[in-house]
Amino acid sequence: MKMSNHWNRVIYQLWAPVYEGTVGLFFLPGRRRALEVLNLRPGERLLLVGAGTGADLPRLPEGIDVVGVDLSPEMLVRARSKLPLPGRSVTLIQGDAQKLLVEQAAFDAVVFNLILSVIPDGRTCLHENLRALKPGGRAVVFDKFASETGYLSIGRRFLNVFSTIFGTDVTRKFGEMLRGSGAEVVWREASIFKGKYQIFLLKKK
């Protein structure tokens, strides 16, 4: 099934009421670790791509100015229910993260937690939102990716037929997405589910 914004709106309208209490629980260790790797500091501006229900918001340090973007209005209702957060300025925007919805070169850091495998065009999402980073700025990615080496197995391709129905692509390779983005990997580590999910720290060249 070809992923689309329309289908994602349908899927995440259904997920919104139950996400954090079900599958979202499994991702919490990866989310926490991704933010540790990013090492945010007071006074920094952060772009949160795919803000969803706002699961990352309470884990951000005080003194951060945050802009969160998400396609699903129902998910953002959940995120807004967590506000206000002491010591953090949070603005939430409903829109398509395949387009840059904020100003260029105005952010110190960007978070891509569990967005690049669920948005229809992950590569475009990554490239567009990296434009929001200041030179030398950093970004963290926490998501699942296929191996960079070799061909995708028939089994993985078959699984992807069904996984896309639920709003996620299991065939994407991060190296292919990153190529030509103007950022480089400075840290990489295996994450949850025996390394099927990974964490990448990027720096804008």
At residue 199, the pLDDT reads: 98
Q: How confident is the model at residue 159 (pLDDT cuts 50, 70, 90)?
A: low
Amino acid 154: pLDDT: 77
Using CA atoms, how far apart are residues 109 and 82, in angstroms rounded to an integer? 22
* pLDDT exceeds 70 at position 158: no
The residue ranges of every structural domain in the chain are 5-204
The overall average pLDDT reported for the chain is 94
pLDDT tens-digit series, residues 168-188: 888 999 999 999 999 999 999
- Average pLDDT, stretch 115-132? 97
What confidence score (pLDDT) does residue 162 get? Answer: 65
Q: 5-204 belongs to which homologous superfamily? A: Vaccinia Virus protein VP39 (3.40.50.150)
18-57 burial, b at 16+ Cβ within 10 Å, e below that, comes to ebbeeebeebeebbebbbebbebeeebbbbbbbbbbbbbb
Distance from the Cα of residue 26 to its chain's centroid? 16
Higher pLDDT, 18 or 155: 18
98, pLDDT greater than 70: yes
Residue 161 pLDDT > 60: no
User: pLDDT digit string (tens) for 61-97?
Assistant: 999 999 999 999 999 999 999 999 999 999 999 999 9
The verdict on pTM exceeding 0.85 is yes
